[in-house]
Structure 1
Amino acid sequence: MFVRKLLYATKPIPIETISETIFVAESTIYSYLKPIRALVKKYNLRLKNRTNLGLSIEGNEIDKRRLITNVLVEHNFTEYISGYTEIEQKLFQDIELEKINYIFDYYFGNFITEITDFKRKNILFHIALCISRCKSNYSLKLDTINKVALPDTMIDNFEKMLKAYEDEFDILIPKTERNYLAYHILGNAVEIWATPSKRELQVE
């Protein structure tokens, strides 16, 4: 399906271009539009087909990420936790995924020793998603996730980790994305909340 291409495109894609890229007849692509339109609508998104311009998926970035997470990525348990699936590798083809793992483990390995492999993979997935969206100039524009409190002991490592990702992937991780990542780290590592000393994540 060409939904991924639309979600990462910086401008509308002509149907002719999609046809040539995925080797499917234009008539077949037109037949896909109705079910795709129904699918994205479930995530508060809109499939637009503009004359002389082409197809695009429009809506809030956080809803696009919900679509990517829930629909475009298969969460087959064994395959999901053992590494990056084939679908994920295609989705994040512009990123060296092993570097995401290395940097995360370097700065956060000591904090999340008790979480399951599945939850650890969830964190890594959202880091990869954040980086890939930032590289495509689709970073979150509004703070759509409630601010979260990180334990004091984690703040420095969190900031160093983000700086390492910025340097490695030549991106800027804005405040909204920092909160997005903190939210998913804490959401998948509930035991961190038991740490008594916390303060609200403050980033410039």
Structure 2
Amino acid sequence: MAYFLMSASDAPSKEIRASSSAETNVELDPNINARLEKADRVLQAAQSLTNEATKPEASSVKRSASGWALAEPSLPQPSIKLSEQISIFQAIEISRPEETPRVGDQISFPMFHGESVLVDVQSVKNHSDGSYSWSGHLVGHGDDYPVVVTYGEHSAFATITTPEGSYTMESVDGLGWLYKNPSEFELSKPGSTDVLEIPEAHQP
């Protein structure tokens, strides 16, 4: 006697049909179709639970962004005049983020020679004039190297401390300078100054 189990694609129902002969006498389980359907439902439920378990929770995902971009040579020079004591500098492009950073975000800042630093945002403060500031520290160095960034309506300012020294970024209307701060010895030379000159159009 031969038995054939037909799939849903082979027959309009899930019934099992058997042909009988005189040679053998094997009884089919009358509940086999119900058992198969139940097993199929269990497998589908298990797959659904697996998919849910692999979805990351929104609160556990750290957002990341870039603080600024190094300016293309074709762009005009920033309007801010640098001190003569500054010897390491680079023009940058920057825009105020559409969304204020949140505590736990990570911000990447392009630096010199193709390097960058990654900063953990640890506090955010909104000011009454519409500007806001956030502060944090370099990732991987504990609280040794603080970073502070302030965004205004038309300007931005940042100080970044690293194992190689401290840096400043200052911009007006989306263009500015990233530069390494001169050492105290350089600033103490006769006639030296540590003040940036702001164009008259942007002075209060």
Same fold (TM over 0.5): no
**Greater Rg by CA:** 2
Q: Would you tell me which structure has more strand in proportion to its own residues?
A: 2
Q: Would you tell me which structure has more helix in proportion to its own residues?
A: 1
TM range (shorter): under 0.3
TM-score between the two structures when normalised by the length of structure 1: 0.25
